[in-house]
Amino acid sequence: MNWNFIGKGSAFYPLYGNTGAYLLWEKELYLLDCGEAAFDFLYRHVDLDAVENVYVILTHLHADHVGSLGTLISYYYCLHKLQVHVVHPEETAARLLALEGLDPDAYHFCRELPENKAGLRAVPVKVRHVDNMECYGYLLSDEKETIYYSGDACEIPAEVKAQLFAGKLARIYQDTSTHDSAHPTHCYYGRLEAEIPPEWRERVYCMHLDSPCEELLKEKGFQVVETPLK
């Protein structure tokens, strides 16, 4: 399952780009979120005109995760008469697109990932991020492996950690922060240290970084997602 990262930065650290990832399978494009800078990145790095089917799996509706989704939908519908599949467990995703002026006929809203050529499955996992929005991570599986993608989350859910420690997860991609708080919205790296034993840390890939903290995280035994040079 070869996910390519668009960026690894938090909303307030745009130097690293919006955190999100894409997977190309034959002529199908799969996206994990579509933040403000995502369409520009994809336009420069992917042959969008060669794509025949698009799936966008949304973790939540903050701008750094959905900011250019409307542009992506309009691009494919207006130029190719292709309807992007927008995947999110909550109806709020469709309401947001309606407020942006997107015609409902321009895309397919799906509460779960439809059957697809890549054989990809996406099981949503509720995560703690902010109090006024339902937010999700995903257990993503194909015929070879299962991974976990956190989206924005202040912790790794217990069920996900249990699967990691049982050897059922190839990798975890986790929102990681250098800022600690009494009311966290992102996962402080000290919490990861406390909860992930050293022997499992090589499977944990830190993302959504709020500063150039890669060396610190690697010294603790964690991985950091790689992104292309700008």
Euclidean distance between CA atoms 87 and 151, whole angstroms: 14
Long-range contact pairs involving 87-90 (C-beta distance under 8 Å, separation at least 24): 87/55, 87/56, 87/57, 87/58, 87/111, 87/112, 87/113, 87/114, 87/122, 88/57, 88/58, 88/136, 89/124, 89/134, 89/136, 90/134
The pairing of beta strand 20-25 with beta strand 28-32: antiparallel
- Tens-digit pLDDT string for the chain (230 aa): 899 999 999 999 999 999 999 999 999 999 999 999 999 999 999 999 999 999 999 999 999 999 999 999 999 999 999 999 999 999 999 999 999 999 999 999 999 999 999 999 999 999 999 999 999 999 999 999 999 999 999 999 999 999 999 999 999 999 999 999 999 999 999 999 999 999 999 999 999 999 999 999 999 999 999 998 65
Three-point CA angle 219, 220, 225, nearest 5°: 80
Q: Which of 203, 206, 226 is nearest to 216 (CA)?
A: 206
Q: Identify the residue whose tokens are 């996900």.
A: 160
Confidence at residue 228, expressed as pLDDT on a 0 to 100 scale: 87
- By the 10 Å C-beta count (0-12 exposed, 13-18 middle, 19+ buried), 197 is classed as exposed
pTM: 0.97
Query: What is the 3 state secondary structure string of 121-151?
Result: EEEEEEECCCCCCCEEEEEEECCCCEEEECC
How many other β-carbons are positioned within 10 Å of the β-carbon of residue 53? 19
Euclidean distance between CA atoms 184 and 168, whole angstroms: 28
Euclidean distance between CA atoms 137 and 186, whole angstroms: 13
Token pair listed for 66:
């959905």
Euclidean distance between CA atoms 224 and 230, whole angstroms: 17
Confidence at residue 31, expressed as pLDDT on a 0 to 100 scale: 98
Token pair listed for 224:
């950091």
